[in-house]
Amino acid sequence: MSDSASALAVSVYEKIGGEAAVTAAVEAFYERVLSDPLLKGFFEEVDMDMQKRQQIAFLSQALGGPSSYRGPDMKTAHAHLSIEQRHFDQVAQHLVATLQSLGVAQEDIDTIVQAVGPLAHDIVNTESSSHHETTSIPTQKKKRKESRMGQNGSSHKGGSATLEAPESTLAALGMVESSLDSLQTNVFVADANLNLIYANKRAMDTLQSIR
């Protein structure tokens, strides 16, 4: 960031009220996001207290406040999620609405949007789906499970070709997965080569505890 841009960002951070204002904005922002059917699926099984702390640190730093953000870069942080441009745009709308509701001046909102907008290049990683309402949340849950299994070195590494299942089949599979996740016992499913292709939530927790 250039010196002039940094100075401008610092003035915005201070003008909106510093840490207290950013904290209030983040709290109000997530109230909106977690109530949005299009977005709330991204935050299932997420530690929201940690999420908010990281968001406060990141936004404060982006606006010229303290350089306290120690999380991953935006591309890495969102790589395990299927984020489309419409998701990013919806988040941006909630951010703007939040800032407006808190009485932030429009010129400062514009500056904040200019700072956050370019992040779409690193955050958006999936082409728009033609089945918006029915595939959003299941897709996020599937990718989170694949990410957890990969972290344990147990993900199935098959071919890259995929088939699209009918929505009724996806719904049925989702019900089966939810049932298995609710069991208070470890459930593992392996293919003929003994490659682990599924583990329910209890099993994943067990694997995490013995790492």
Q: How far apart are CA 121 and CA 85, in angstroms?
A: 10
Quick one: pLDDT at residue 77? 85
Q: Which two tokens stand for residue 190?
A: 């392996």
- What average pLDDT does the segment 110-118 reach? 87
Nearest-angstrom CA–CA distance, 19 and 51: 16
pLDDT band at 116 (very low <50, low <70, confident <90, very high): confident
* Residue 94 near residue 42 (C-beta atoms within 8 A): no
Give the three-state DSSP class for 138.
helix
Is 209's pLDDT higher than 60? yes
Beta-ladder partners of 149: none
Q: How far apart are CA 147 and CA 155, in angstroms?
A: 8
CA 201 → CA 26, 45, 80, 96, 208, distances in Å?
29, 10, 17, 36, 11
Phi, psi angle pair for 129, to nearest 5°: -90, 150
At 81-95, the pLDDT tens digits run: 889 999 999 999 999
Tell me the pLDDT of the chain averaged across its residues: 73
150-186 confidence digits (pLDDT tens)? 444 444 444 433 444 444 434 444 445 555 555 566 7
Which amino acid appears at position 188 of this protein?
F
10 Å Cβ neighbour count for 18?
Answer: 14
CATH number of 3-123: 1.10.490.10
Whole-number Å distance between alpha carbons of 108 and 8:
10
* Closest to 178 in 3D by CA, of 208, 142, 135: 142
Q: Where are the domains of the chain?
A: 3-123, 132-209
Q: What is the pLDDT of residue 36?
A: 95
Q: For residue 150, what pLDDT is reported?
A: 47
Is the distance from CB of 40 to CB of 34 less than 8 angstroms?
Answer: yes
